[in-house]
Structure formats: structure tokens, C-alpha cells
């Protein structure tokens, strides 16, 4: 992997290897922005990786009142899983425990698609027979009585068959401070791309993983080739000047959305330069054996 240079930042001649997932989107509204975001934040908690969380979920964007079905502030949530059955379970459980319970909330479909996942069609049973079915045009809703009034929830939402999971960037710097600065710049840029989420805390993961482990019970373990403290003890992929590595993982509803987010992140890192940011940027892959989506860094450079 011979690196290229852009504004002094070394860019690996490598690619991020991503895999197919099932994805969906909902729009959560509330009386104000604070409570719309609170419901969305609670719903997307503990949803960083399907390795241990069942689903990967995050906030895509906020929507102003003029752009939501009920004229209230809204937050779009994306959720991804490896199968439609798992996605269905995670969607209903999280909507039921985190959105239905949140004061003043409502839940709307926010993805078109022939394949549908039930939300209100499942949550309506909480109404204990008092729920009311309502149709407006070709949209079907349930009105579920709750203690602050009623919870309005769309019956179903769309399901995409071509969602992409596992896009990634590996950001390498001399110190934790400069590496973090570059990664935060990249996250800020990537969050401006619609249709993607960065599911890890604040969009950043320090505990990048490889497939497999010396321990049979572990399906994934620390990515030792990118651990600075193991340089000299393992077959390291790190240069001598790298003291910290951080990763950004990207899930998207489409291949183009993931590519767009990676392009935006790379541009932000390159613009910052190595003096105050990253020395090098790479990407994680398994030689093309893990997934069919390959995002070559050289094709994404500004």
C-alpha cells in the first residue's frame, strides 16, 4: 500500500470494504427540538455494531417544522441490520421503549419502498383495544392513547434492500490530540451528508476490530496491526511516526451516500493538513472477501 500525498497527508492506496445490510428510516417529531432529539438519541443508544448490539442506528439529520407531516420539529433516524427480521425486531422494540415513551412524540415513515416494516401495526396493541386506525390518502396511521394525550404512529415504513454497512476511514496521527482533531473535522463534514450515519460514539471508534480471535468465543478482536503499542510485537501496518489511530465507520442507505460521506471526510482531513491533524489516512478491508462494496481512497480524494 504505497501512500499518495495530498497537502502533506499520506493517503494509502487502499479501499474500505463494505457489505450489504437492510436499512430503514423513521422521522420522530415532538413539541420542540429538544424532545424530538431526546427521543431519537434514546432510540439509537447501544446501536454501534451488529457484532454486539443487534442493530446499527443513528441520527441522520434534523427537519424543521415546515418539513414534517405534523408541522413540528423532527429528527430522522436511520437503522441497519443484517436481516429484515432482525431489523424489524430492533425497530419495534426501540420505537416502543424509546419513542412511544417520550413526551409528546410522534413517529412517521421516512423511507419509500415496496418492502415495508410494521411500526404502528405492532405498537398499536399497547392501546389495549382503545387504539384508532386512521388513513390519510395512501398513508395509514394509528392513534394510541397515552397519559399525555395520544401517540400518533405510522403503520409501516419502507425497507431498502441495498443499504451499505462498514464504510470506513482509518485516521493516523503523531499524537492523540492531533489525530482527534482531524477525526472530529472529518465527522463534522460527514454529518452534513444525508442518508448516512456514523454509529459509534460521536462518530468515532478507537477499538477497531479484525475478524476472529485466539479465543474461540470471540468473533472479533482488537485490530493489532493498527495498535501503536504493539508495533514491534506484531506485523504492524503503522509508520514509526504514528502514535494514535482512530476509525470512522459509515452506514448508508445507498452506495453513493457512503461514498459521499467518505469523500467529505477525506477532504476535511486533507484541508487541515498534518501539522495540526492527521499524518496518514487508510481504510480497512479483508482483501475483498468480506463485502462487494469497495471504496478506493484514491477515487474519493478532492
Confidence grade of residue 1 (pLDDT, cut at 50, 70, 90): low
Question: Averaged over 5-11, what is the pLDDT?
Answer: 96
225 neighbors 236 (Cβ within 8 angstroms): yes
Query: Both 124 and 167 in a single domain?
Result: no
CATH of the domain at 99: 3.30.70.520
- Select from 160, 180, 199 the last residue of a domain: 160
Q: How many domains does the chain have?
A: 2
pLDDT beyond 90 at 3 = no
Mind listing the pLDDT tens digit for each residue in 47-61? 999 999 999 999 999
pLDDT beyond 80 at 2 = no
Single pTM value for the model: 0.94
Q: Please, which residues have CB within 8 angstroms of residue 299's CB and are 6 or more apart in sequence?
A: none
Query: Both 86 and 214 in a single domain?
Result: no
257 neighbors 195 (Cβ within 8 angstroms): yes
Q: Which domain holds residue 69?
A: 22-160
Would you state the pLDDT for residue 31? 98
Query: Both 168 and 264 in a single domain?
Result: yes
Query: Both 94 and 208 in a single domain?
Result: no
Query: Both 43 and 73 in a single domain?
Result: yes
Query: Both 119 and 183 in a single domain?
Result: no
Mind listing the pLDDT tens digit for each residue in 136-154? 999 999 999 999 999 999 9
pLDDT beyond 90 at 202 = yes
Q: How many percent of the chain have pLDDT more than 70?
A: 99
Query: Both 277 and 294 in a single domain?
Result: yes
Query: Both 27 and 123 in a single domain?
Result: yes
Query: Both 214 and 253 in a single domain?
Result: yes
Confidence grade of residue 211 (pLDDT, cut at 50, 70, 90): confident
Query: Both 177 and 118 in a single domain?
Result: no
Confidence grade of residue 290 (pLDDT, cut at 50, 70, 90): confident
70 neighbors 26 (Cβ within 8 angstroms): no
- Select from 124, 142, 160 the last residue of a domain: 160
Q: Quick one: three-class SS letters along the chain?
A: CCCEEECCEEECCCEEEEEEEEEEEEEEECCCHHHHHHHHHHHCCCCCCCCCCCCEEEEEEEECHHHCCCCCCEEEEEEEECCHHHHHHHHHHHHHHHHCCCCCCEEEECCCCCCEEECHHHHHHHHCCCCEEEEECCEEEEEEEECCEEEEEECEEEEEEEEEEEEEEEEEECCHHHHHHHHHHHHHHHCCCCCEECCCHHHCECCCEEECCCCCCCCEEECHHHCHHHECCECCCCCCCCCEEEEEEEEECCHHHHHHHHHHHHHHHHHHCCCCCCCEEECCCCCCCCCCEEEEHHHHCC
Question: Averaged over 251-255, what is the pLDDT?
Answer: 97
Would you state the pLDDT for residue 288? 82
Query: Both 130 and 203 in a single domain?
Result: no
* CA dist., res. 159 & res. 170, Å (int): 30
Going 65 to 69 to 70 to 76, the CA torsion angle's sign is negative
Would you state the pLDDT for residue 161? 85
Amino acid at each position: 500500500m504505497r501512500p499518495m500525498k495530498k497537502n502533506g497527508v499520506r493517503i494509502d492506496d487502499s479501499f474500505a470494504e463494505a457489505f450489504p445490510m437492510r436499512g430503514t428510516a423513521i422521522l420522530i417529531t415532538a413539541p420542540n427540538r429538544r424532545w424530538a432529539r431526546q427521543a431519537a438519541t434514546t432510540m439509537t443508544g447501544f446501536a454501534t455494531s451488529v457484532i454486539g448490539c443487534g442493530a446499527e442506528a443513528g441520527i441522520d439529520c434534523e427537519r424543521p417544522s415546515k418539513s414534517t407531516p405534523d408541522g413540528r420539529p423532527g429528527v430522522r433516524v436511520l437503522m441497519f441490520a443484517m436481516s429484515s427480521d432482525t431489523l424489524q425486531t430492533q425497530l419495534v422494540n426501540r420505537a416502543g421503549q424509546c419513542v412511544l415513551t417520550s413526551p409528546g412524540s410522534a413517529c412517521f415513515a421516512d423511507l419509500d419502498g415496496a418492502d415495508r416494516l410494521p411500526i404502528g401495526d405492532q405498537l398499536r396493541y399497547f392501546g389495549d383495544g382503545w387504539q384508532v386506525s386512521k388513513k390519510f390518502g395512501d398513508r395509514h396511521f394509528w392513534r394510541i392513547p397515552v397519559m399525555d394525550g395520544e401517540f400518533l404512529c405510522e403503520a409501516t415504513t419502507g425497507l431498502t434492500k441495498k443499504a451499505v454497512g462498514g464504510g470506513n476511514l482509518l485516521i493516523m496521527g503523531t499524537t492523540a490530540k492531533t489525530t482527534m482533531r482531524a477525526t472530529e473535522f472529518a465527522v463534522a463534514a460527514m454529518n452534513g451528508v444525508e442518508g448516512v450515519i456514523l454509529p459509534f460514539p460521536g462518530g468515532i471508534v478507537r477499538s477497531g476490530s479484525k475478524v476472529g480471535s485466539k479465543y474461540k468465543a470471540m468473533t472479533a478482536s482488537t485490530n493489532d496491526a493498527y495498535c501503536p503499542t504493539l508495533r514491534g510485537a506484531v506485523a504492524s501496518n503503522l509508520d514509526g511516526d504514528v502514535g494514535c489511530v482512530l476509525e470512522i465507520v459509515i452506514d448508508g442507505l445507498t452506495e453513493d451516500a457512503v461514498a459521499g460521506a467518505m469523500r467529505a471526510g477525506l477532504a476535511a482531513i486533507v484541508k487541515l493538513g498534518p501539522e495540526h491533524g492527521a499524518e496518514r489516512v487508510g481504510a480497512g478491508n479483508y482483501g475483498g472477501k468480506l463485502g462487494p462494496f469497495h471504496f478506493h481512497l484514491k477515487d474519493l480524494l478532492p
